Amino acid sequence: MPGRNFLFVPGPTNVPERVLRAMDRAMEDHRSSAFPDLATGLFRDLKQVFQTTSGQPFIFPATGTGGWEAALVNTLSPGDRLLAPRYGQFSHLWIDLAQRHGMRVDIIDVDWGEGAPADRIEAILSQDRQHEIKGVLIVHNETATGVTSDLGAVRKAIDAAQHPALLYVDGVSSIGSIDFRMDEWKVDLAVTGSQKGLMLPAGLGIVCASPKALAAREQAKCPRVFFDFGDMIKANATGYFPYTPSIPMLYGLRESLGIILEESLEAIFARHHRLAEGVRAAVRAWGLKLCAKAPKWYSNTVSAIMVPEGKNAGTVIDVAFRRYNLALGAGLARLGGKLFRIGHLGDLNELMLLGAIAGAEMAMRDVGIQVTPGSGVAAAAEYYRSTAAPLAERPAAPPASDAVPAPSGRASPRTAVRA
């Protein structure tokens, strides 16, 4: 099919050309004396993305799931008790992983479409006077439902209960896209993956651990080898890894961190909010609803859009892909067939999202969902147009010139070739 695939699943996300070029390089010796310059810079700049000064980042050749496992096995023992709200497929899977490691999980079942219930967390922790609960698991952004939880409120709940439980956070689809404050919210283990806001292919599981979490490691009895923080701490201190890292991915991460810090986290968070608001305007114009049950839960990285009763969202996704070369996210587990998801995170802008909205609109009409032609595109476009930065605030385009730099730095004439 001519043209490019429109990738609008909530991960993997689009990889910028700069990152692709940075990854396209010859292999090198990961034990050379030059290698630590790359590794130490990555650890330093990752701390900025996590918004921490005291946390320690670890980079594993893995995925977010590997990050989940690393966070748990380095700080807990089999039989330890955890508290975890379950409000989507990814919170469910993290609970399952903990249980398969022999941990006891007190599950707070929440309607899918809502976020972490801070009040219920506080109530349960307040009753745990013996402090048997060792940790609280929170998925910051539940990708399956398009819901973002209030981590600040969860931290206040833990503090109000005067409970020492570690705070574990899955930030796979939030970190680098949605405001995440590791130090301010006293997050002890933060997990992310390379394929979302970091704008890389899947392949890196990244965990940042607080000093409190690193201290808990001394008592943890879960077996670990590949994911052992101890091995990483010893090797990383010298700028190396305990085993062969993915060198192209590390160079890609170096470039993606450069892109993030150039734009600034504040600007990135604002951009994602604005882009998400345009998608939400389109959903309202279509007369449809989001899975997120209230605006306070709306995610700025993915919108999960419910289709009308009696319609199958799977057919929308299939038609969008086969007919319009548009990849949309599917409904997961109990939401299968009930919704489709538009991912809007990472390297994207207004016109890219308008293309996704147009494709989704056409696919819905193709399968008999009655939406007014052009309604979603018009609503999103008007929102983007009305909220765009004034031209005076945008960087000016470079002036046109018929001269290109000569090797000496002086201008040299350029021959114009016309048809």
**CA–CA separation, 316 and 360 (whole Å):** 7
Q: From residue 29, how far is each of 35, 163, 208, 240 by CA, in Å?
A: 8, 47, 26, 11
- Calpha distance 164→287 (Å, rounded): 46
Q: What CA–CA distance (Å, rounded) separates 330 from 316?
A: 9
User: Going by DSSP bridges, is the β-strand pair 133-139/166-170 parallel, antiparallel, or unpaired?
Assistant: parallel
Residue 132 burial by Cβ neighbours in a 10 Å radius (0-12, 13-18, 19+): exposed
C-alpha–C-alpha distance, residues 329 and 293, integer Å? 19
Q: pLDDT under 70 in the chain at which residues? A: 392-419
Reported as a single tens digit per residue, the pLDDT across 344-383 is: 999 999 999 999 999 999 999 999 999 999 999 999 999 9
From 303, 313, 311, 310, select the one nearest 335 (Cα to Cα).
313
Instruction: Give the residue carrying structure tokens 């010139």.
Output: 401
Determine the pLDDT at residue 402: 45
Percent of the chain at pLDDT exceeding 70: 93
What structural domains and CATH numbers belong to the chain? 17-262 (3.40.640.10), 265-389 (3.90.1150.10)
pLDDT at position 394, please? 64
Q: What is the DSSP string of 88-127?
A: SHHHHHHHHHHHHTT-EEEEEE--BTB---HHHHHHHHHH
Rg (CA), the chain: 23
Alpha-carbon gap, residue 380 to 353, rounded angstroms: 9
Distance CA(159)–CA(391), nearest Å, equals: 46
The pLDDT value given to residue 152: 98
Q: Summarize pLDDT for 188-207 with one digit per residue, the tens.
A: 999 999 999 999 999 999 99
